[in-house]
A and B are shown apart, each in its own frame.
Chain A
Amino acid sequence: MNYISIHNNQSIALKDIPEHAYTMFMETNIALMKGNPARHCVNYFGYSAADKIKLICCIADDDLHEIFVSSTVVDKGYQLPSFTAKNHNFEKFEREIHENFGVKYSDHPWLKPMRYAHNRADKNEKIENYPFYQVESEELHEVGVGPIHAGVIEPGHFRFICNGEQIMHLEIQLGYQHRGIEQLFIQKKKLLERTTLAENIAGDTTVGHTTAFVNLWESLCGYTPDRSLQFSRTLALELERMAIHTGDLAAICADIAYQLGNSVYGRLRTPIVNYFQEWGGNRLAKGLIRAGKINYPFSEELATRLNTVLNTYEPDFEEITKKFFKLPSALSRMEKTGVVSYEQIYEIGTVGMAARMNGLCRDIRFSHPHDMYGSSIVHTPIIKHHGDVYSRAQIRREEIRQSMTYARKLITEVPEFKKPENFTLNPGKGMFAISLVEGWRGEICHCAITDQEGDLMVYKVKDPSHHNWMALAQAVRSNEISDFPICNKSFNLSYCGHDL
């Protein structure tokens, strides 16, 4: 076999990952992906091994619920043919490998710096000199936005090429948020330090990223979480989805100047995040998800309380939703705005909402279930077919309802919780582990490798935004530049999750 087939949250010995010469490795992975939308690359990364670079590629098969892992070793500074020339799913991954290790690709169509990581191979590359795509023309003009934006949001630079009011091209340059998270995972040795790092990868996805981390860690340590831990993670994931989706609907309303929707959705987010505070003492659920334990056990009282919160949320949510999704002035701003075709998203390899908005079924809860998905919660992904702002808003509306149903179902059977206890969890030696979680944005993937002593050697994070930023760049083409904000909000991608 050219690859090893594993499932979500499985740990294997690193040496069991087949290693092949680069050409064979490339052909295997390209062939695996060819013409099969159920297969997509969940992670492809490198690390220094002796004075060479080891590359590991993980392709998920959503039909078989398996992940195919393979590897190769290449020399530093060698020139290689790229995967990307054959399949654009790999575009970002190869840019990252190029940036971090100086691997040259002979035929990569877009080999630009990715995030100007502090440990990049070429320190002469500076963020202020990013090579933007340019068009020489007397008729076209450029608009630069950022890194600091008008709202209270994270930094990133958007460079538009416009013909009058119409956007011809958008290039998104990121990296401003780079904090060196992956290296800090190695540098810091304590579990709580690493958990705290996971919580801060993207603060709006605290539950998503922390669940990916703890599931991975427990798998590496051969620890099986009990029902109470799985229950907490599943419930928290659904509540996080509800809270952020509600806030996103508020933001979309704000961008089309629908003040009432903005206020109502905006305030409806509050009871959900306040509920997180009642449960775990933090509105964004920081401190809640822990490996091998939970410091804030769930209880029957919390279940009753959640029922009340949901029962009060629901009629207000439905009332404004009924109005908003029928309002002609709102619909005219959302329908056919920011369209991305099925062909485009398949080519980019988008995940989560940015895939489901146009017929591409990507949802880890369904395809690679973890925690209580696939058992207590049998998930049906919500799929839309127009790829526009409206489809993305509709997904949120329906996923909020779905999350409510799941949360209600979960709390009918509150498992027994143990007192939080600390014990040592030791990762296995020379292991590789992978964890996939469906955060509210989409698929989160964490990978880890331990050395012969069982110390963490490589930690790799992939946020759903990794792929999805390119979908936003495609969505705005041929749209008016004034529609950029609503397109952007309808994706609501993460800067820090991308920059790490």
Chain B
Amino acid sequence: MFDNLKIMWHQGKQFIPDVTTAKVPGIFRGRPVISNKNVDETALEEICPTHAISKGPVRIDLGKCTFCGECAIQFPNKIRFTSDYKISSNEREKLIIIEGDENPILVNPDLIRKEIHRLFGGSLKLRQVSAAGDNSCEWELNASNNVQFDVSRFGIDFVASPRHADGIVITGPISENMAEPLERCYHAVPDPKIIILAGTDAISGGIFADSPALDRSFLSKYHIDLYIPGNPVHPLTFINGVLSLLRKI
């Protein structure tokens, strides 16, 4: 008993008091900024393993970027990754960063369905579906609810059954073998419901985009409510993305 109390005492305060303003340690690769410097754009475009970079003007699509950092290493004057982890949006095009653009990425409040705030504003239960995810995004989603990030303080939780859920969070590029279980899981969630894509693999297929082993037809059938980039998504990116969708921040 006293041991337990001692252990608890020694932990001190672990939780991050404000997850909307917390700073991430080190050299985190968050929202990139592209300068107006002239560089060999073709060479720059060529570097990217997932065709996230396009030219004229130079753009980076965070829905495709694996955040490998190579472009910034080779063209440090052109591309710089900031530690801004708030990179989620409910508009796919907003994930594309254009040369000279230093504005934050936002969730557009006008496009959020009315019932989302009304029904899920106080409590959002999510069912996670890993559809060929590599267990890195899954890992970070679990971390979102450890004692430090503690996403459940906002009433946001992962639940065991789709029937208890208000929506699904998809990770992974969606393999052919997971296409049907994903569809079934989605249908088991009662209406109204939301779909969140967590991680680059889910948003665009990432490095697997042109694999013949995928079946991403699910995504063209339903409305996607939130895109959360990252490889994997950082817990703070996830938490802030969902909070903006619920209009809590």
Task: Please indicate the chain A residues that have their CB under 8 angstroms from the CB of B208 in the complex.
Answer: 179-180, 184, 200
Task: Please indicate the chain A residues that have their CB under 8 angstroms from the CB of B28 in the complex.
Answer: 277, 281
Smallest Cβ distance from A147 to chain B, in angstroms? 5
The reply to whether B27 and A319 form a contact with Cβ atoms under 8 Å apart is no
Task: Please indicate the chain A residues that have their CB under 8 angstroms from the CB of B158 in the complex.
Answer: 151-152
Interface flags for A393-435 (1: CB within 8 Å of B; 0: not) read 0000000000000000000000000001010000000000000
Of B8-16, B94-102, B107-115, B219-227, the one contacting chain A is: B8-16
| A346 within 8 Å of B (CB atoms) | no
Known: A200-B207, A283-B140. A260 touches B7 (CB 8 A): yes
Residues of chain B at interface, number, CB under 8 A: 68
Q: Which of A176, A281, A284 contacts B181 (CB 8 A)?
A: A176
Interface flags for B161-199 (1: CB within 8 Å of A; 0: not) read 100000000001101111011000100000000000000
| B203 within 8 Å of A (CB atoms) | no
| B141 within 8 Å of A (CB atoms) | yes
| A153 within 8 Å of B (CB atoms) | yes
Task: Please indicate the chain A residues that have their CB under 8 angstroms from the CB of B8 in the complex.
Answer: 260
The reply to whether A320 and B7 form a contact with Cβ atoms under 8 Å apart is yes
Complex Cα distance, B3 from A187, in Å, reads 57
Complex Cα distance, B173 from A116, in Å, reads 17
The reply to whether B207 and A197 form a contact with Cβ atoms under 8 Å apart is yes
| A286 within 8 Å of B (CB atoms) | yes
Complex Cα distance, B13 from A267, in Å, reads 11
Of A19-27, A63-71, A202-210, the one contacting chain B is: A202-210
Q: Which of B141, B148, B161, B173 contacts A152 (CB 8 A)?
A: B141
The reply to whether B135 and A495 form a contact with Cβ atoms under 8 Å apart is yes
| A192 within 8 Å of B (CB atoms) | yes
The reply to whether B146 and A281 form a contact with Cβ atoms under 8 Å apart is no
The reply to whether B67 and A117 form a contact with Cβ atoms under 8 Å apart is no
A154-213 interface (Cβ within 8 A of B): 154-155, 175-180, 183-184, 187-188, 190, 192-193, 195-197, 200-204, 206
| B63 within 8 Å of A (CB atoms) | no
Smallest Cβ distance from B193 to chain A, in angstroms? 16
Of B116-124, B210-218, B239-247, the one contacting chain A is: B210-218
The reply to whether A496 and B147 form a contact with Cβ atoms under 8 Å apart is no
A263 nearest CB neighbor, chain B only: B147
Known: A264-B11, A281-B81, A282-B67. A116 touches B177 (CB 8 A): yes
The reply to whether A155 and B178 form a contact with Cβ atoms under 8 Å apart is yes
| A278 within 8 Å of B (CB atoms) | yes
B210 nearest CB neighbor, chain A only: A187
Known: A148-B181, A270-B146, A284-B232. A204 touches B73 (CB 8 A): no
Known: A179-B132, A200-B206, A286-B68. 11 other contacts (CB 8 A): A118-B212, A153-B138, A154-B133, A179-B213, A180-B208, A180-B213, A192-B70, A204-B139, A260-B8, A316-B11, A323-B7
Interface residues of A (CB under 8 A from B): 116-119, 127-128, 147-148, 150-155, 175-180, 183-184, 187-188, 190, 192-193, 195-197, 200-204, 206, 247, 260, 263-264, 266-267, 269-270, 274-275, 277-284, 286-287, 295-296, 315-316, 319-320, 323, 420, 422, 494-496, 499
